[in-house]
Amino acid sequence: MRPRIVCPSAEGDFTELFAAEPLRSRLAAIGEVGLAPDVPDEAELVRRVAGADVVLLATHLPDEALLAAAGRLRLVSFTGTGAASYVNLDLARELGVTVTNVTHYGDQAVAELTLALMLAAARDVPAGDRAVRAGQWAGWSGRELAGSRLAVLGFGGIGRVVARLGVALGMRVGAWDKVTDPQAMAAAGVEPLGWAQAFDADVVSVHLPLTDETRGMITTAELDLLRPGSILVNTARGEILEPGALAARLARGDVRAALDVFDPEPLRPDDPLLTVPGTVLTPHLGFRTPAALARMAEGAVGNVEAFLSGVPRNVVV
């Protein structure tokens, strides 16, 4: 019996990518394919997953869906890197469900948005846009990034591209990573930094993966180390920051933050990040370019092919 492969939700427009050639033919060659035409409610999502052997996942997967599919579901092919934010990995392991992810598809896209956020915060681009639209023509001084110090937290794929862009811009770049690679850093023109030392910079850019170890890793103590006038950029995961700590630091009015990720997402209407001074906010769009999305979809389908051929790759659990 051919496996049933489903993408249970059209969230994120991935069904359009999977429905286009050559991905549709590749999926059809290995199983019966069901691509959702809509974004279902939770009950319908659970129903769709319950009838699947393989799930192409681009949305949150409720525990109820995993439990409903127990005994049949074999693989969740997540269309991204941070599967832990969308799938209960412990429950998947308990049920014998393999979870795979896709890495490095968005390194360039996220790094470029990181640079855009740095520049937007340094020159207060959003305020300038609002002023012109309101008929105002009073300028203000911003800051140049060339010559300033950039600290990159996490020297993985995205962090390395950000470091390269910072060097090209004329910034003095340092990086912290749990596993320091001095040779790679030296080759990139990057100085290894200690954890506390990294927060004594003009721009601190977060590129850590979300794990049990990194959840809440940036606390009030680290944020208190930020020098006046500095900018914190986060295009990684909102959960890496201690809840409420960044809003409290921004309320003092002497640092800025440029954020593409939050906890929770979307932001609640009463979230203080919406009203504290000195923020530039975007709706988790770092990876959203046509090229990055195509690489992501290709990777997710490749993971299904590899799993069904008996040589799974990119396994999270």
What pLDDT, in 10s, does the model give residues 144-182?
A: 999 999 999 999 999 999 999 999 999 999 999 999 888
Residue 101: closest CA among 74, 76, 80, 73: 80
Query: Is-catalytic flag, 44?
Result: no
Per-domain boundaries in the chain: 4-105+289-308, 107-281
Residue 158: closest CA among 209, 220, 223, 85: 209
Distances (CA, A) of 184 to 28, 109, 164, 169, 189: 42, 21, 12, 19, 9
Measured between alpha carbons, how far is 95 from 49 in angstroms, rounded to an integer? Answer: 14
Q: Which residue is catalytic, options 160, 207, 237, 256?
A: 237
> If you average pLDDT over residues 117-145, what whole number do you get?
95
Do 4-105+289-308 and 107-281 show the same overall fold? yes
Query: Is-catalytic flag, 164?
Result: no
Residue 174 φ/ψ, nearest 5 degrees = -125, 165
Measured between alpha carbons, how far is 96 from 43 in angstroms, rounded to an integer? Answer: 23
301 exposure class (CB count in 10 Å sphere: 0-12, 13-18, 19+): buried
Q: For residue 129, give every residue at least 6 positions away whose Cβ sits within 8 Å of its Cβ, in sequence order, or none.
A: none
Q: Which residue is catalytic, options 2, 144, 265, 268?
A: 265
Query: Is-catalytic flag, 252?
Result: no
- Bridge-based pairing of strands 75-78 and 54-57 is parallel
* pLDDT at residue 181 in the model: 86
For domain 107-281, give the CATH superfamily: NAD(P)-binding Rossmann-like Domain (3.40.50.720)
Measured between alpha carbons, how far is 40 from 70 in angstroms, rounded to an integer? Answer: 20
**Contact between 162 and 190 (Cβ < 8 Å):** no
Per-residue pLDDT reduced to its tens digit, 250-301:
999 999 999 999 999 999 999 999 999 999 999 999 999 999 999 999 999 9
Q: Which residue is catalytic, options 4, 143, 252, 284?
A: 284
Q: What is the DSSP letter of 210?
A: -
Residue 36: closest CA among 62, 71, 72, 12: 12
* pLDDT at residue 13 in the model: 82
Q: What percent of the chain has pLDDT over 70?
A: 100
> If you average pLDDT over residues 202-228, what whole number do you get?
96
pLDDT higher than threshold 90 for residue 241: yes
pLDDT higher than threshold 90 for residue 1: no
Query: Per the confidence metrics, is the pTM higher than 0.85?
Result: yes
CATH class of 4-105+289-308: alpha beta
